[in-house]
């Protein structure tokens, strides 16, 4: 039988009662948090136009913009959907020739691939950075070569002067929305902040996606007096998330924690694998995830995951259309964030049919 999210936290809280002497078994489902806002200014035109119908960024005027695309790798379902969205849109029929760079999870490889794009004469470079570190020299080289750089997916913090615009996710906003959801859940169910003992599976350390989501959680912990019991990276991958969770579970008791905060769906799948392997039912815990793959959204429907802070991977067409506008001389607002919200039991029926991936 499907266990509702409410039943789940009541069960967890009541279980905690025996361990720490608290009583909290309320009712009601929390409202989802408000949608994000963009701090981007409105678009304006710089008035410059290009040498061909494709605009100024089609430097050789052949009607096709050669785009070097620096992708992180293929660590997650999100990444698979994201890569496909670029491959689908960046085609000659839309005015693009996509050169795909797969960094395979390696920072140095990704920077070398961007340098290759520069030396091979890419007309535009799109960077979806693995981490935030060490980019300035590479970005300077692109600038010196006169190649426009677009930053997508994870924002390169503090380096705005080197790219034309950022389009992607507000990762700190995602963390804040997940915290707001948990605060609402606690209030709606008459829980105590002292009930909140978190196992925190972090994404790839140093990436904007990990840093923003972790900062959001840590601010929530600070504000509300929650406890982070354990914190370990699972590098955004299912197998590493499973291994991290298994190691953590070998050093804690089932009643020591009430919340699993996994910084993407794949690590949460791994954490659930590890929990079930030792006889724990994830439905007895509050499980919070990020992204919104179809199977994870189905798990919300099934009461296994309680909330997912959405992260939209389908950036290809939007980034491509912005490049075309910028190439025609339009100043693109930056940063521009995807519109994302939290998926929980209150909106899962609307979200499931439109979820990405499998």
Residues of this chain that bind ligand AHR (CB under 6 A): 75-76, 78-79, 153-154, 209, 236, 264, 290-291, 311
Q: Do 284 and 303 touch, CB atoms closer than 8 A?
A: no
Smallest distance from ligand AHR to CB 296, Å: 10
If the CB atoms of residues 96 and 236 are measured against ligand AHR, the closer one turns out to be: 236
If the CB atoms of residues 90 and 290 are measured against ligand AHR, the closer one turns out to be: 290
Distances (CA, A) of 141 to 57, 110, 119, 136, 289: 17, 15, 10, 9, 37
Smallest distance from ligand AHR to CB 17, Å: 35
Smallest distance from ligand AHR to CB 235, Å: 9
Q: Do 306 and 357 touch, CB atoms closer than 8 A?
A: no
* Cα separation of the two ends of the chain: 24
If the CB atoms of residues 6 and 171 are measured against ligand AHR, the closer one turns out to be: 171
Smallest distance from ligand AHR to CB 311, Å: 5
Smallest distance from ligand AHR to CB 297, Å: 14
If the CB atoms of residues 95 and 313 are measured against ligand AHR, the closer one turns out to be: 313
Q: Do 235 and 203 touch, CB atoms closer than 8 A?
A: yes
Name residue 262's beta-bridge partners.
201
Backbone torsions φ then ψ of 319, nearest 5 degrees: -65, -45
If the CB atoms of residues 123 and 266 are measured against ligand AHR, the closer one turns out to be: 266
Closest CA to 287 of 12, 87, 61, 2: 12
Q: How far apart (Å, rounded) are the C-alpha atoms in residues 145 and 78?
A: 32
């Amino acid at each position: 039988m499907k266990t509702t999210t409410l039943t789940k936290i009541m069960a967890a809280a009541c279980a905690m009662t025996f361990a720490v002497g608290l009583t909290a078994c309320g009712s009601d489902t929390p409202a989802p948090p408000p949608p994000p806002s963009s701090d981007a200014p409105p678009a304006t035109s710089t008035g410059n136009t290009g040498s061909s119908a494709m605009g100024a960024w089609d430097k050789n005027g052949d009607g096709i913009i050669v785009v070097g695309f620096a992708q992180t790798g293929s660590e997650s379902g999100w990444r698979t959907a994201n890569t496909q969205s670029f491959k689908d849109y960046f085609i000659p029929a839309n005015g693009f020739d996509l050169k795909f760079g797969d960094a395979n999870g390696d920072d140095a490889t990704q920077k070398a691939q961007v340098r290759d794009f520069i030396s091979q004469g890419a007309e535009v470079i799109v960077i979806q950075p693995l981490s935030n570190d060490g980019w300035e020299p590479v970005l300077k080289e692109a600038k010196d070569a006169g190649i426009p750089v677009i930053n997508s997916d994870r924002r390169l913090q503090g380096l705005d002067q080197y790219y034309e615009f950022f389009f992607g996710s507000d990762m700190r906003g995602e963390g804040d929305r997940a915290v707001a959801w948990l605060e609402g859940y606690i209030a709606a169910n008459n829980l105590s902040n002292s009930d909140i003992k978190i196992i925190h599976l972090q994404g790839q350390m140093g990436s904007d996606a990990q840093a923003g989501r972790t900062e959001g959680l840590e601010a929530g912990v600070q504000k509300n007096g929650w406890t982070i019991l354990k914190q370990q990276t699972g590098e955004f991958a299912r197998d590493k998330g499973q291994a991290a969770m298994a190691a953590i579970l070998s050093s804690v008791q089932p009643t020591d924690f009430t919340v699993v905060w996994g910084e993407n769906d794949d690590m949460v799948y791994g954490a659930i694998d590890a929990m079930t392997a030792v006889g724990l039912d994830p439905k007895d815990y509050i499980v919070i995830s990020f992204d919104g793959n179809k199977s994870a959204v189905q798990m919300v429907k099934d009461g296994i995951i309680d909330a997912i802070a959405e992260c939209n991977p389908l950036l290809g067409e939007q980034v491509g259309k912005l490049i075309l506008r910028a190439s025609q001389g339009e100043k693109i607002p930056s940063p521009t964030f995807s519109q994302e919200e939290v998926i929980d039991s209150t909106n899962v029926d609307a979200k499931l049919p439109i979820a990405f991936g499998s």
